[in-house]
Amino acid sequence: MNNQLVLIEWLDSKGVIGEWEFTDSLNPLIPCKCTSVGFLIDDNKEYKTILQTKSDEQVVGRMTIPTCSIKKIRRIN
């Protein structure tokens, strides 16, 4: 497992569900800009997986981000 701490800037989807909207007053739905920090445990062509917390034998808080959504990755020393 990679112990490299990273900061990832990425775009997430946005939507409106369960609410009627008038077509003449629709505003653009701009993707959400997100920032996540964690230990990089899977780094491949299709996605990156980070985790929030780890102990000697366990982890908690895993998240996978599709590579196509990632705008920038910065390694944290």
pLDDT values of the chain reduced to their tens digit, one per residue, 77 residues = 668 999 999 999 999 998 899 999 999 999 999 999 999 999 999 999 999 999 999 999 999 999 999 999 999 98
Could you tell me the pTM of the whole model? 0.85
Give me the pLDDT at residue 1, please: 62
Give me the pLDDT at residue 77, please: 86
Nearest CA to 10 out of 43, 37, 35 is that of: 35
Give me the pLDDT at residue 3, please: 82
> Residue 34 in contact with residue 13, Cβ under 8 Å?
no
Nearest CA to 65 out of 46, 75, 56, 24 is that of: 46
- Number of independent structural domains in the chain: 1
What is the Cβ-side half-sphere exposure of residue 72, based on CA atoms within 13 angstroms?
8
Give me the pLDDT at residue 24, please: 96
Residue partners of 61: CB distance under 8 A and separation at least 6? 38, 51, 52, 53
Domain containing 68 equals 5-76
